[in-house]
Amino acid sequence: MKLSEQYKLIKFKDLGDERGNLVVIEGDGMDIPFDIKRVFYIYGSDSTVVRGQHANRYTEFLLVNVSGSSKVKVDNGFEQDIIELNQPGMGLYIPSMLWKDMYDFSADSVLLVMASRHYDETEYIRDYDAYIAESREAK
Ligand code: TYD
């Protein structure tokens, strides 16, 4: 499958009014394709830091820069795309088995991540060559 069909940029409902903005993200196929089991957020990473550098065998993710900006490089072993996240109402859906790097964090970046599974280190592939081998084997 083409990389551009694997990840998705999703725009969420903004129920803002004169009091300010309110963005809603519902799981289970409503706004995003999975049920949310875990939430974490990354902040205080600066523009020199590269995070991620792994693929997950099972977990799907949704990434939202609720403040500031960052870039995400996704890689399926054949193609790579770079997506800039800089809007609190916009999320990047990443399916399982895509390699991902997060970098170029602005000083005010708060990167909110929603995940379809609980944390399990054994489903992480942290070696790029091993990822390539395993993703090709699965085809
Ligand atoms: P790491 O995978 O390096 O984060 P990133 O994907 O942003 O590069 O995680 C840092 C540490 O936190 C590592 O020891 C694993 C641990 N961790 C958890 O215990 N639970 C979690 O949900 C996450 C994302 C990480």
**CA-closest residue to ligand 1 atom 25:** 119
Instruction: Flag the least confident range among 35-39, 59-63, 98-102, 133-137.
Output: 133-137
**Token reading at 135:** 């993703």
42 CB near ligand 1 (under 6 Å): yes
pLDDT value at 139 more than 80: no
Distance 52 CA to ligand 1 centre (A): 9
Q: Which atom of ligand 1 is the closest one to the Cα of 118?
A: 22
Q: Which atom of ligand 1 is the closest one to the Cα of 121?
A: 15
- What pTM, to 2 d.p., does this model score? 0.96
Residue-averaged pLDDT of the chain = 97
119 CB near ligand 1 (under 6 Å): yes
Higher-pLDDT residue of 136 and 99 is 99
**CA-closest residue to ligand 1 atom 1:** 52
Percent of the chain with pLDDT strictly greater than 90: 97
Cα atoms in the Cβ-side hemisphere of radius 13 Å centred on 3: 14
φ, ψ at 135 (rounded to 5°): -70, -30
52 CB near ligand 1 (under 6 Å): yes
Q: What is the pLDDT of residues 49-106, one digit of tens each?
A: 999 999 999 999 999 999 999 999 999 999 999 999 999 999 999 999 999 999 999 9
Q: What is the CA radius of gyration of the chain?
A: 15
Task: Give how far Cα 45 sits from Cα of 20, 73, 100, 123, Å.
Answer: 27, 16, 16, 24
Quick one: pLDDT at residue 138? 73
Quick one: pLDDT at residue 99? 98
Cα 119 to Cα 121: distance, rounded to the nearest angstrom: 6
118 is catalytic: no
pLDDT value at 23 more than 70: yes
**Spatial strand order in the sheet of 8-11:** 8-11, 90-94, 61-67, 110-115, 38-43
Q: Could you identify the residue written with the tokens 């999975």?
A: 34
